[in-house]
Amino acid sequence: MKRTTTRLADGRELIYYDRGDGAARDAVDRRPLPPVDPAASLSEVRHNPLLGEPVGYAAHRQSRTYHPPADQCPLCPTRGDRLSEIPADSYEVAVFENRFPSFGGEAGRCEVVCFTSAHDASFAQLGEEQAALVLHAWTDRTAELSRRPGVEQVYCFENRGAEIGVTLAHPHGQIYGYPFVTPFTRRALDSVAAHRDATGRNLYDELLASERADGRRVVLETAHWTAFVPHAARWPYEVHLYPRRRVPDLPALDEAARDDFPAVYLELLRRFDRIFGPQAPPTPYISGWHQAPFSLGSRAREDFALHLELFTIRRSPGKLKYLAGSESGMGAFVSDVLPEAAADRLREVASSA
């Protein structure tokens, strides 16, 4: 695989990822953009003392691109006089600094990952080689950002669908280099540490072993990966995907797990699109990698388990799961779908052999 790094007209970094070594990535960004003003895109992080949580503020994002027509998509390749964020006339996978970052400067970093140059595609429609290239980009960016001052944790994720709040239809995801350990991760780390202190065992290992032994919520299993609906799932359809060998982050995955991942992940995404029947519109979802923060001690990093969480806010055809009073006001989830029923459905819609 080949990686080529260049700069956009305003100085932001752009990285191309190609499967072969022959691609020439020397196209110049011809847009008349002024240099990025670091002061104009500074984010602020405040601390909530009651909840012990950080909250980010990014007022400059109010002017970000919002539902442009397809012929003005900023993530499509540049063709003729139609200039975009990608100056090349074609690409395989491209990653660039977000023009409207939630975190930036000395307080983190935000990047956009374009999974393909095909505007009307989806991740589920990619081939296995292309999905492997995306995994390579996620892994490379995680390793790179781990060395960047001010980045505590990396989250590679995809928001898919207008129902989720996506404002650009082109198939893409994002990478957040948080300047703090996220609240969900902090709570998980506390639970894992308490379990280690009480039992001497790893909580992630026990949860995975328990789901595999029970079997009712396992939806897909290979020699290197297990996908299951968790016993206490929050969302109507929620799947957690774990490598069978516990590792803290994407760079630590072995080659066997990397080789196995594309087929597993593509199958999960295709099942999600079939949950609500052949006439239903594409299923909106959020999918993201949970990785160990970089500032942890060696024991805590070893205890963390890399995993991917995939979920949808759609609970039935034409109906969404809204985060209303209990969920939004108190963080107390009430789900409409039993995890066992969700797992049954995800097994029913498996691809035919």
pLDDT tens, residue by residue, 291-335: 999 999 888 999 999 999 999 999 999 999 999 999 999 999 999
Are residues 224 and 120 part of one domain?
no
CATH code of the domain in which 256 resides: 3.30.428.10
User: Cβ(113)–Cβ(157) under 8 Å?
Assistant: no
Distance of alpha carbon 92 from alpha carbon 130, whole angstroms: 8
Neighbours of 122 (CB within 10 A): 18
Instruction: Identify the DSSP state of 30.
Output: -
Are residues 99 and 189 part of one domain?
no
- The confidence score (pLDDT) of residue 217 equals 98
Lowest pLDDT segment from 56-70, 156-170, 179-193, 315-329: 56-70
Are residues 241 and 202 part of one domain?
yes
Are residues 159 and 295 part of one domain?
no
Confidence (pTM)? 0.96
Pick the last residue of a domain from 178, 212, 246: 178
Q: Work out the pLDDT band at 41, boundaries 50, 70, 90.
A: low
The structure tokens listed for 269 are: 């995404």
Give domain status of residue 131, yes or no.
yes
Position 242 pLDDT exceeds 70: yes
Higher model confidence: residue 261 or residue 20? 261
Give domain status of residue 353, yes or no.
no
Distance of alpha carbon 38 from alpha carbon 17, whole angstroms: 27
The phi, psi pair for 18, rounded to 5°, reads: -130, 145
Give domain status of residue 315, yes or no.
yes
Give domain status of residue 62, yes or no.
yes
Query: What total number of domains does the chain contain?
Result: 2
Distance of alpha carbon 204 from alpha carbon 156, whole angstroms: 20
Give domain status of residue 328, yes or no.
yes
Are residues 96 and 173 part of one domain?
yes
Are residues 146 and 8 part of one domain?
yes
Are residues 158 and 25 part of one domain?
yes
Pick the last residue of a domain from 156, 178, 200: 178
- For range 118-147, the mean pLDDT: 98
- For range 229-237, the mean pLDDT: 97
Maximum CA extent, the chain: 64
Are residues 262 and 133 part of one domain?
no
Are residues 199 and 96 part of one domain?
no
Q: Which domain holds residue 216?
A: 183-348
Are residues 214 and 168 part of one domain?
no
Position 22 pLDDT exceeds 60: yes
Pick the last residue of a domain from 178, 198, 216: 178
Higher model confidence: residue 36 or residue 246? 246
Q: Work out the pLDDT band at 65, boundaries 50, 70, 90.
A: confident
- For range 65-81, the mean pLDDT: 91
Give domain status of residue 58, yes or no.
yes
Distance of alpha carbon 14 from alpha carbon 190, whole angstroms: 37
- The confidence score (pLDDT) of residue 23 equals 82
Are residues 237 and 280 part of one domain?
yes
Are residues 190 and 174 part of one domain?
no
Instruction: Identify the DSSP state of 86.
Output: B
- The confidence score (pLDDT) of residue 61 equals 78
- The confidence score (pLDDT) of residue 303 equals 97
Position 353 pLDDT exceeds 60: no
Active-site residues: which are they? 172
